[in-house]
Structure 1
């Protein structure tokens, strides 16, 4: 599935539940992944060039899809609680926690 397909699904689904979708590329994606891999839960080794994030406030969670070389694997989604997402997103944007 392409990054555009995943982003479209995230946009439609998140709006339906009071949220929106975000796309993180390049350095923002790398910093977000570094925080996710090393500071949230058990250490992980997620890799991606681009991240598609769906914010679902009505459901109380955030979904993160990993895009590598323009392709996404729908089975490789991470579900985060909103506070974990905010911490990782702030790290990606260089905003202190």
Structure 2
């Protein structure tokens, strides 16, 4: 039960993964890279020193795209999980995060 509470209720820091989406990735991706690593380090198989290089490789690919993917599903469908395994894993976890707010339809 405590794992569920940790993953669902105390997971606000995990929403920082949105900065890995090409449409949202701006120059500050390098600034939030450490925060992303800390939030997802349990799911990652690389060290703190190796993770920034994967972000740099992926960012190089983003800058080469004229029209970056707009949403999470498009990004995951077009991403090679063997070349960017850590970013792919993070975005998969991010995709399963609960919606933080919802409004009832009237």
TM-score scaled by structure 1? 0.33
TM-score scaled by structure 2? 0.31
- Who wins on radius of gyration, i.e. which is larger? 2
Q: Taking CA–CA contacts closer than 8 Å with sequence separation of 6 or more, which of the two structures ends up with the larger relative contact order?
A: 2
